[in-house]
Chains A and B, each alone.
Chain A
């Protein structure tokens, strides 16, 4: 009956209720919608980066990440393979790579690039490159000793095409400059032009042979079936691999810039929640206070009948809670609906592509819903909403019956 009473009290003044309900709905909707766009953006950023050769976990020589040269290679990949076999969960995939800085050169142009020696079949399961070749073919197999796949942007810069030669030069394991002429067999297209200019792909044995590395590799990349398990697997690998010979790093360590960006946006979202809530909070307090002051005589009556102050507080808080719950419900539904509608085609940022790329923002953002963000937004509105309803509730509870009953 308290609930009924609270519900009916809310609708005594439908216009006022509709106004504050609209404010709550817009507040909740904006939190969920903006949260969804942000989540879609940084999910895409993380996924882009993960598939752009990062993976969830990488294992290197301890000095490789500071100075990615051939001498800081993993010379005994079998030990790493053994540890991975024991630790990786079912469904996880791994690939060995050689990754070194090199110079690419043809008759007209030269540029600094990163040469990546890959295991084609395994690499296709881990990174974007398996699906990114839009012209020609991918590296066929590990015996593809002279085939090379380059990015479209690099091909355009070098004014080259499929079938043409490209010479790569880099320092070999023996300290001498080594070079090899490759033939372009495929051209790939990536989310970001910077990627297309930076990476060229050859087979792992071709890279090892060119750099005289024997069976050494630069890194092992791992993709887990669940990103959330990264920390656990990293810890298990660190226990098995001596830290003076191997460095095991999770994706957050591997892409500190994006991790920092995500954290920055998370902070921005919290600030946004606060701004929204402050605006909404004043509205809620004002509305409930007006509703209380209008019914001052009635509160005097129920108090004279024996209703205790805490019961009056509970009644007013219930009115506030019902109002908030209704606003939250509608806000969630409209938020989900607008995210769903936008997620079908995505938000196209192509016109800002150059600027967005500087911040690793993808060309098209597909908003997505993170339930933890939704719960956080709803809890902020509900808990703080109830807190700001306390003031009018306490005012109602302090009403003196005799004075209230004489009010007209």
Chain B
């Protein structure tokens, strides 16, 4: 039996922009199985990022329900959501979002620091994962000293170092050239296969869509197509 790691039921979300109400999601129901490598695609404003944010507990919904590993996101306190994000969810952002004053190694360590993992273990695990993403000998470089592709590799390392159940990646290749994007995607695919980490992407990138084992197409806040 296939276990679902994420289940959304009839999720609706409306944003108030001044006097205008924008329906970002109009009843999205989706099941994502454990170990999936799934892309949420669609034009700008289709609701991909909103859905990703709601699944990650970063944003609330107006109607419906979302569960991650059987945790009802809508019923959780901010503190519980923070704990869930810290221990079970990894995030990769389009703009890398590394802490500029920390080195690559320290950026990766940061999650483990919040988890209370001792310093020596943090360092070992951070270096191992940086080696795996191809950043050997770049441990001490700060983000400003790394290329876009290298920064996104650090972000991937940070997302998976604490063995999350799911990684939510919002347009991870959008700021990268195609060769770097392809290499990064290969890396995430390898992580998915080797470590059974579930990846959910929101993307415009055809390359990501091609690599995904499942493609969910959103339009105007609704799922228009769901292709395995």
Show the binding face of A for B, using Cβ within 8 Å: 1-2, 4-5, 8-9, 12, 297-298, 301-309, 311, 401-402, 405
Contacts and interface: CB of A to CB of B under 8 A. Distances in A.
A57 to B, nearest CB: 60
Contacts of B158: 305
Interface string B71-102: 00000001100111111000101000101111
B114 A305 contact: yes
Contacts of A297: 97
B93 A307 contact: no
A306 B87 contact: yes
B110 interface: yes
Contact of B97 (A301, A306, A309, A311): A301
A2 B101 CA distance: 12
Contacts of B78: 309
B37 to A, nearest CB: 22
The 3 A-B pairs at the shortest CB distance, nearest first, are namely A306-B86, A8-B101, A306-B85
Contacts of B114: 305-307, 311
Interface in B41-77: 53, 56, 58-59
Nearest to B93: A405
Contacts of A305: 85-86, 91, 110-111, 114, 158
Question: B84, B87, B101, B158: which has the most chain A beta carbons within 10 Å?
Answer: B101
Interface residues on B, range: 20 to 34
Given A304-B85, A306-B82, A311-B114, A402 B99 contact: no
Nearest to A311: B114
Given A311-B114, A401-B58, A402-B58, A303 B82 contact: yes
A341 B35 CA distance: 72
7 contacts: A1-B106, A4-B106, A8-B101, A12-B101, A305-B91, A305-B110, A307-B82
A169 B167 CA distance: 104
Contacts of A298: 97, 99-100
A297 B110 CA distance: 16
B78 to A, nearest CB: 8
Contacts, number: 59
A304 B106 CA distance: 17
Contacts of A8: 101-102
Nearest to A11: B101
A223 to B, nearest CB: 59
Interface in B93-132: 93, 97, 99-102, 106, 109-111, 113-114, 119
Given A5-B101, A307-B86, 8 more contacts: A1-B109, A1-B113, A302-B110, A304-B56, A304-B85, A305-B86, A306-B84, A307-B82
B83 A306 contact: yes
Contacts of B119: 1
A121 B181 CA distance: 97
Contacts of A402: 53, 58-59
A405 B113 contact: no
Contacts of B82: 303, 306-308
B101 A9 contact: yes
B139 to A, nearest CB: 14
A302 B91 contact: no
A306 B113 contact: no
A359 B177 CA distance: 81
A9 to B, nearest CB: 6
A302 B84 CA distance: 14
A247 to B, nearest CB: 67
B74 to A, nearest CB: 16
B36 to A, nearest CB: 21
Given A297-B97, A304-B91, A5 B85 contact: no
A2 B114 CA distance: 10
Contacts of A301: 93, 97, 99
A302 B53 contact: no
B68 to A, nearest CB: 13
Given A1-B109, A405-B93, A302 B56 contact: no
Contacts of B56: 304
A7 to B, nearest CB: 9
A305 B114 CA distance: 9
B89 to A, nearest CB: 8
Contacts of B113: 1-2
A33 B99 CA distance: 41
A365 B166 CA distance: 72
Contacts of A306: 82-87, 111, 114
Nearest to B84: A306
B105 to A, nearest CB: 11
Nearest to B109: A1
Nearest to A310: B79
Interface in B1-57: 53, 56
A304 B90 CA distance: 9
B31 to A, nearest CB: 24
Question: A303, A306, A311, A402: which has the most chain B beta carbons within 10 Å?
Answer: A306
A311 B111 CA distance: 13
Question: B82, B91, B93: which has the most chain A beta carbons within 10 Å?
Answer: B82
A301 B119 CA distance: 22
B51 to A, nearest CB: 12
Nearest to B115: A306
Nearest to A403: B59
B99 A308 contact: no
A1 B118 CA distance: 11
